[in-house]
Amino acid sequence: MIVVFASAKGGAGKSTISCNIAYHLSKMNYKTLLFDSDVGSSVDYIFFGVYKHFTIKDYLDNHEAEIPKCFDDIKQSINEKLSLISSPNGFVEISMTQLELIKQELINQNEKNDFIIIDTQAGTHIQNLEFMKIADKIYIVVNLDDQSIADNFSLIRDLQKVQFGVTAEIYLITNRISDPKISNVIYENINKLLIKKGCNPIKFAANICKSNNIESSINNKEMFMEKYKHTNVYNQFMAIIDTLIQEKLHG
């Protein structure tokens, strides 16, 4: 199953969410590949306290020479069930031809893994759209910032345009919102606007409350889902994870 986490605005928390979900899926004995596709600002390796070995740039630069010849050659093992593929930092351009190569490698990896979690770069870049085309599920992460809500509404609306070729189910995650009533208002308002624009409403995945424990886990390079079990926020993460597992099993 290919799962994309995206947000039209930076700082929404999608990397924290995608890393913790990928990690916990692996701890539940599901073979998982986390792909940090944020070309130019890759950060997911920092969450695990590891250094980059290879990135997709190594794969693309050496593709003709076939060294590395596939994503298996650039994967970094985090634990027995979790692997990470990083993107390069700095200014890097990826052509449409290279994007097709990356997409095909992800499709190949989908046959070897239970889950592929794609952490996209913030915004509405063409490469995000290309990854969404091969996704089974898309999670849009939004926080309380007005611009985040407006930008993500526009992203969800655009994803439903037939010409984009995105067929995956779209879910909303509200993040860092302590009051679930506010989270519900955001979700309902986005759906009202979507329906008004002739689009389909989306589904609600979870509200992840603002938590000092999450900030602490980031600063200490610890997985929140490992250290802060039996908390409300842990259960909120589990709502997403349980849905993924159920759909994987009964798909």
Would you state the pLDDT for residue 183? 96
Q: Which residue has the higher pLDDT, 88 or 21?
A: 21
Residues 220-242 have a mean pLDDT of 93
Please, which residues have CB within 8 angstroms of residue 222's CB and are 6 or more apart in sequence? 216
Q: What was the pLDDT predicted at 163?
A: 84
Identify which has the larger pLDDT, 191 or 49: 191
Determine contact, residues 203/169, Cβ cutoff 8 Å.
yes
Mean pLDDT, rounded, for 33-37: 97
Higher confidence at residue 227 or residue 10?
A: 227
Identify which has the larger pLDDT, 69 or 107.
107
Predicted local confidence at residue 208, as pLDDT: 96
Give the separation between CA 251 and CA 247, rounded to whole angstroms.
Answer: 5
64-101 per-residue burial string, b: 16 or more CB within 10 A, e: under 16:
eeeebeebeebbbebeebbbbbbbbeeeeebeeebbeb
Any idea which residue has 């050496």 for tokens?
A: 62
Mean pLDDT over 230-243 rounds to 95
What CA–CA distance (Å, rounded) separates 179 from 245?
Answer: 27
In the chain, what is the straight-line distance between the N-terminal and C-terminal CA atoms, in Å?
9
Give the C-alpha separation, 10 to 117, whole Å. 18
Least confident window among 24-38, 61-75, 203-217? 61-75
Q: What is the mean pLDDT of residues 61-88?
A: 86
Q: With contact defined as beta carbons under 8 Å apart, do 12 and 142 qualify?
A: yes
The share of the chain scoring above pLDDT 70, in percent, equals 97
148 pLDDT tier (thresholds 50, 70, 90): confident
Q: 1-10, 61-70, 125-134, 192-201: which has the minimum mean pLDDT?
A: 61-70
Please check whether residue 135 is in contact with residue 102, taking contact to mean a CB–CB distance below 8 angstroms.
no
Q: Is 90 exceeded by the pLDDT of residue 239?
A: yes
Q: What is the DSSP letter of 1?
A: -
Q: What phi-psi label fits residue 187: left (phi over 0), alpha (psi between -120 and 50 degrees) or beta?
A: alpha
The sign one gets for the Cα dihedral 189, 154, 159, 119 is negative
Right CATH for 2-38+107-250 from 3.80.30.20, 3.40.50.300, 3.30.450.40, 1.10.10.10? 3.40.50.300
Beta bridge partners of 36: 119
